[in-house]
Structure 1
Amino acid sequence: MLATLWIFPAGAHTSAKSEVRLEATETGIAANVAIPAAEYAYASGNKASNDVASLADAKRYLRAHTAIRSADGPAWKVAIGDVRFAENGGAPDLLAQITYDPPAGAASDRFDLQWSAVIANTPDHVTQVVLDKNDLSGPRLIGLLREGNTKIAVVAGKSSTVARFVSAIRVGAEHILGGLDHLAFLVALLLAAPLLARNGQWQSLRSGKEAIVAVAKLASGFTIGHSITLISVALTGLTLPGSAVEVFIAATILIAAFNVIRPIFAQRELWIAVLFGLVHGLGFAGFVREADADLTRNVSTLMGFNVGLELVQIVVILAVIPVLLFIARRGFYSPFRITAGTVLIASSGFWMVTRTLDAVA
């Protein structure tokens, strides 16, 4: 985890993401695609322009990076329709229409979508796949694609409440797994959990039971905080600008990282976890709102998204805490902790600077 933060300091949430919006037709599936033009140009090496040659290059690129196969195996016919570069609510995007037609006899309501445009060679880029007008519940965010995860199973027919709940769990889990900043904050809290502070220094160790209780409080506080914000924003629609939220999230990691090296909120970890959880919840809520899908339209999908977040959080805790408790009782925990805290400070500081520059640009 810490090595990943060091090597890929920009690998937290990005504002530039692609969208593939699918809609069932009488014969197959139609897709409306939006890819940030700058990301497309970087990944493809092509010019992001509306001249004939550039648009032809864009069509070839898209055709080479998408496919659909039915659940029983046959590949569908893919046709790239209208392609253009235009502003789409802000920075220029590559906008495209794609049709997928199944071979004769192949099932058209269950298929695997393969999509690797941009994400194949851009580690921090995300493509969200939305199923539009699949039933009366409206559009449904069915998953996130990124480097190493370029295929997703789609059920285009009417979805049940249980299916939407399960889909929302997957989206929540994928979202937090792709957000190194949220995971970095959690790791920063856990690094100090085995320790007791005296005279402004980390000087002694908690017992195993005390450390587990401390971790439970931290996890509960963070969960309470981000759940309150997520639900409140979903119900009211009120939130802060996304650029400001991302800067605040980086600031919470920076503070938690300094606490790893020297206790600055000892004995107040629970309240800090709740307070900082409120800030991270704004980030989760911003993602949900930008998705423009049915995550906010009913309680079950919103709960599913939150469950997905919590499942990943639990897995991280179960993986990290035994290791930390083992290391803490060895003579090298202090240099390990200080090194880890320094890496987190460097990463969060980098995020704060780059996000602030993005916000004022």
Structure 2
Amino acid sequence: MKKRILVAPLNWGLGHAARCIPIINALIENGFEPMIASDGAALTLLQKEFPRLSSIELPSYDITYTKNGKFLKLKLLTNTPKLINAIKAEKKSTKNIIENNSISGIISDNRLGVYSKKVPSVFITHQLKVLSGSTTWFSTKVHEKFIKNFNACWVPDVETDVNLSGKLGRPETFEIPTTYMGTLSRFEKRYVNIVNDLLVLLSGPEPQRTLLENKLLGELKNYAGKVVFVKGLMEKEQTIQLIGNITIYNFMTSSLLEKTINESALVISRSGYTTVMDLAKLGKKAFFIPTPGQFEQEYLATRLTELNLVPSCSQETFTLEKLKDVNDFKGLQSFEHETNFEELFSLF
């Protein structure tokens, strides 16, 4: 019988689930049987990508953002008891899954309670250093304490000085065995004709996803080129709406999204780390608008702007005029690095 591996991404935007897609494919190619565990949009995405795999719903962290980014840190702090209860609930669920499904190993992408002492458990994160302003030292230590429950930590980045995660993936001290697995993307670069002037990719927790959607739709009314707009709403059926020069999708599955990104001259998106990895793999020009108050996205956007790769600005200051800045930036490029999945999976 094939060894069954539980793959459990956090449901916080679509990034964690999206970067698990190449891992799930690699598990299948290496003779394992993946089982999917998550909740909400993340679970829906993976169920659509892998309809033949068994899946199970985990308790939700139920994280929402504030309308004003300045208060996000305070809201996350006040939500700490709810978060701790969710982690306890998913630990209980994980125990039941292990007992009832003959699980041989666990790959958790940022789900802090999905581990077991009975089987090898891996934690995936690009945030070994968890930015939170003046409390970064504390949030990093708390995160490290949770990761110590796992047998190994995999970082989706390269170990070289030139990398994508910057200081996020390189803390001053870190006591847990860590492997830099290389950048992950579900996409492949295709040399095709450009048919879209602009592609908008949205994702992330509410209400900030909707706030940016409304902002961009308002601005793009005056855009002369051809626009494809993907809302990032994982609904039961795909919908397509045409408003002037803008074609709006509620969501796209991987094959269509890969095709659309390759065929687009410019991408506007959040500066989530999975999006950064995807656009680097495809060598795209981009414009980043970080989620207000999310220190990690603000850091990544600022870093890539300072490296003269991708321009960025805050959500409230974005205007169509700012897209002219793109011509002065190099765009993202991928690293020549092949992930050795066979070696990584030897843990199981």
Both proteins in one fold, TM over 0.5: no
Q: Which protein has the larger Cα radius of gyration, Structure 1 or Structure 2?
A: 1
Higher helix share: 1
Which one scores higher on RCO, CA 8 angstroms, separation ≥ 6? Answer: 1
TM-score in terms of structure 1 length: 0.28
